[in-house]
Amino acid sequence: MINKILFFLFLLLIPTQFGKHFFLAFSYLSGVRVDYLAPTIYLTDIIIFLLAIANSKIVFKFFKNKKILISLFFLLINILFSRLPIISFYWFLKTIELLIIFFLAKKILTTLKEKYILIALFISSLFQLFISLTQLINKHSVQGIFYYFGERLLTLSTPGVAKASIQGAEFLRPYGTFSHPNSLAGFFLLLYFFVLTYKKFNRYLAIKYLLLFISSILVFVSFSKIAIACYLILNTYYLILNTKFNCRICKIARIIVVFIVSLIFLSATTDPLTVNKRIELMKNSIEIIFKNPLFGVGIGSYLIEQAKFSSKFYLFFNQPVHNIFLLFIAETGLIIGGFILYQLINRLIRAHLKKEQWILIFVIIFTGFFDHYWLTLQQNFLLMGLIMGVILSPSLPAD
């Protein structure tokens, strides 16, 4: 019963970021407070800690795996070379947390009935939809009680806020309770394809399709071009190869509808300098890798090194490179990062994944080429661990 309650709460609260930030002296860059450099305890962290205790026997057994122990040992060595050892140790603990969720992912699916999994995800998604649409319509954050779920104080005049415009009408891109609309989009993009491709959810089609509809709206209203493009590509692929229609015209009509809706939102004007900003960050990351090729700058410490570079864009120096692969290698180095990536790729190859599972991997890889949230932001980080665990984690022994 305890497991069921904790698993349900985890799924219900995973899109939120209710937590306590600890802003210390090193959490500021050029006098600007940076969340990425602030150790944080989230409510979801506490739930995962309780899950680890409740499942301590099988969790400890998982961590006896030699490859897991070697990888964690390498990350401990990485801390010794870190620009900011305290932050690197914090992210070492976050890595352990990720592995716990990775290992318990299949137990969540076997402990909770599919109906209750969908209900938890539906409630949390509906909650995000309400906040996001309210932000979109009012052009500012809702605040009040929603602050405690992680909603930032935002208006159109907030420096660096994400905006979009259609035919000259400017509005705030919805954040929900996420740190950025792109993070919101990536989260619900991955959730969408998980719900779409997990066949056991087909026993509850009504709530499944409602959840898919809500997730689709959140991807579109985020105006994240990368997420929308990925949504269009993978839905087209799925409809062509995985949906059995007796009527070809019906299949073509669905593809056309997805294409037209995607095109409408892709036509919106967002940050005109986004490409230039990302190129600047990529150049910085490559230079950081060349300067620290073997052991990197330390997990979580990337921004300390990047702050040494000048930027043409105001306040953009406090953003990690928008590419999870460059970020990972810059922080861990070629030796440690190379070993961990090799183990992951080898696991993917040996897993003999189905086409539906490769769709989920593609979402993370494709969006990860253009953003950093899978490695840096709580909600995306945990969802990635959960989905990868569903795909790759070993079978659990019976209780």
Asked if residue 382 has pLDDT above 70, the reply is: yes
Report in angstroms the alpha-carbon separations of 126 from 6, 37, 285.
20, 31, 37
**188 and 237, same domain (yes or no):** yes
Mean pLDDT of the chain: 90
- Last-in-domain residue among 217, 238, 270: 270
Q: Is residue 28 part of a domain?
A: yes
> What Rg do the C-alpha atoms of the chain give, in angstroms?
21
Question: Average pLDDT, stretch 302-325?
Answer: 83
Tell me which residue range forms the domain holding 10.
Answer: 1-111+280-394
**259 and 374, same domain (yes or no):** no
Domain count, the chain: 2
**227 and 309, same domain (yes or no):** no
With cut-offs at 50, 70 and 90, classify the pLDDT of residue 191: very high
**What is the structure's pLDDT at 396?**
44
Asked if residue 327 has pLDDT above 50, the reply is: yes
Q: Which of the residue ranges 11-25, 146-160, 278-292, 367-381 would you say has the lowest mean pLDDT? A: 146-160
Q: Is residue 399 part of a domain?
A: no
Q: Is residue 204 part of a domain?
A: yes
**156 and 201, same domain (yes or no):** yes
pLDDT per residue over 260-299, tens digit each? 888 888 888 888 778 888 899 999 999 999 999 999 999 9
Of 170-179, 273-282, 344-353, 387-396, highest mean pLDDT? 170-179
Question: Average pLDDT, stretch 140-163?
Answer: 89
Three-class secondary structure of residue 308 per DSSP = coil
With cut-offs at 50, 70 and 90, classify the pLDDT of residue 226: very high
- Joined tokens for residue 47: 């739930």
Asked if residue 75 has pLDDT above 60, the reply is: yes
Strands (E), the chain: 19-21, 28-29, 32-33, 40-42, 163-166, 169-172
**120 and 249, same domain (yes or no):** yes
With cut-offs at 50, 70 and 90, classify the pLDDT of residue 243: low
**207 and 302, same domain (yes or no):** no
- Last-in-domain residue among 248, 270, 292: 270
**What is the structure's pLDDT at 397?**
42
Q: Is residue 275 part of a domain?
A: no
- Joined tokens for residue 171: 């509005």
Question: Average pLDDT, stretch 210-229?
Answer: 96
High-pLDDT (> 90) share of the chain, %: 68
**165 and 250, same domain (yes or no):** yes
**226 and 314, same domain (yes or no):** no
Cα separation of 9 and 13, whole Å? Answer: 6
Asked if residue 245 has pLDDT above 60, the reply is: no
Q: Contact 222/175 with Cβ under 8 angstroms?
A: no
Q: Contact 327/320 with Cβ under 8 angstroms?
A: yes
Give residue 164's Cα distance to chain centre.
22
Question: Average pLDDT, stretch 224-244?
Answer: 87
Asked if residue 81 has pLDDT above 80, the reply is: yes
pLDDT per residue over 7-46, tens digit each? 999 999 999 999 999 999 999 987 888 999 999 999 999 9
Higher pLDDT, 169 or 243: 169
Query: In terms of Cα–Cα distance, which of 161, 173, 169 is closest to 219?
Result: 173
**251 and 174, same domain (yes or no):** yes
- Last-in-domain residue among 224, 246, 270: 270
Question: Average pLDDT, stretch 244-253?
Answer: 66
Asked if residue 68 has pLDDT above 60, the reply is: yes
Q: Is residue 144 part of a domain?
A: yes
Q: Is residue 174 part of a domain?
A: yes
Q: Is residue 182 part of a domain?
A: yes
Query: In terms of Cα–Cα distance, which of 190, 197, 224, 123 is closest to 385?
Result: 190
**What is the structure's pLDDT at 387?**
96
- Joined tokens for residue 362: 């593609």
**163 and 299, same domain (yes or no):** no
Q: 186: Cβ–Cβ under 8 A, 6 or more apart, which residues? A: 224, 227, 363, 367, 371, 373, 374, 380
Asked if residue 395 has pLDDT above 70, the reply is: no
**126 and 26, same domain (yes or no):** no
High-pLDDT (> 70) share of the chain, %: 95
Q: Is residue 287 part of a domain?
A: yes
Asked if residue 345 has pLDDT above 50, the reply is: yes
**250 and 305, same domain (yes or no):** no
**What is the structure's pLDDT at 266?**
86
- Joined tokens for residue 291: 């300067």
Three-class secondary structure of residue 163 per DSSP = strand
